[in-house]
Amino acid sequence: MSGLPVVRHETPWPLSSDGLLFREAVEADVEALQSFRNLPEVNHFMVRTHVDPEDLRREWRAVPDSPTDFSCVVERDGEVVAMGFLDVVDGPGQPGVPDGTDGLIGYIVDPRVAGQGIGSATARALLRAAFDDLGLRRVTAAAYADNPASVRVLEGAGMRRERVSVQALWHHELGWIDEVGYALLADEWRDGPG
Ligand SMILES: CC(C)(COP(=O)(O)OP(=O)(O)OC[C@H]1O[C@@H](n2cnc3c(N)ncnc32)[C@H](O)[C@@H]1OP(=O)(O)O)[C@@H](O)C(=O)NCCC(=O)NCCS
Question: Which protein residue's CA is at the shortest distance from atom 10 of ligand 1?
Answer: 117
Domain assignment present for residue 146? The answer is no
Distance from Cα 9 to the centre of ligand 1, integer Å: 29
Assess whether the C-beta atom of 150 lies below 6 angstroms from ligand 1: yes
Q: Supply the CATH number for residue 93's domain.
A: 3.40.630.30
Distance CA 80, CA 146 (A): 27
- Which residue's CA is minimally distant from atom 21 of ligand 1? 149
Distance of CA 3 from the midpoint of ligand 1 (Å): 37
Asked whether residue 75 is assigned to any structural domain, the reply reads: yes
45 within ligand 1 shell (Cβ under 6 A): yes
Indicate which residue's Cα is closest to atom 31 of ligand 1. Answer: 152
Within a domain: residue 151?
Answer: no
Q: Does ligand 1 have an atom closer than 6 angstroms to the CB of 180?
A: no
> How far apart (Å, rounded) are the C-alpha atoms in residues 157 and 126?
10
Tell whether 104 is covered by a domain. Answer: yes
* Structural domain includes residue 175: no
User: Can you tell me the distance from the alpha carbon of 32 to that of 39, in angstroms, rounded to the nearest whole number?
Assistant: 12
What's the half-sphere exposure (Cβ side, CA atoms, 13 Å) at 66? 19
| Residue 26 covered by a domain | yes
Query: What is the per-residue burial (b if ≥16 Cβ within 10 Å, else e) of 9-38?
Result: eebbbebeeeebbbbbbeeebbebbbebbe
- One digit per residue, the tens of pLDDT, for the chain of length 194 reads 444 444 556 899 999 999 999 999 999 999 999 999 999 999 999 988 899 999 999 999 999 999 999 999 999 999 999 999 999 999 888 888 888 999 999 999 999 999 999 999 999 999 999 999 999 999 999 999 999 999 999 999 999 999 999 999 998 888 999 999 999 999 999 999 88
Count of domains observed in the chain:
1
Write out the residue range of the structural domain in which residue 102 sits. Answer: 15-138
The answer as to whether 62 is a domain residue is yes
Q: Give residue 160's region: left, alpha or beta (phi > 0; psi -120 to 50).
A: beta
78: CA distance to ligand 1 center in Å? 22
Give pLDDT, residue 7.
52
- 163 domain-assigned: no
The answer to whether the CB of 153 is under 6 A from ligand 1 is yes
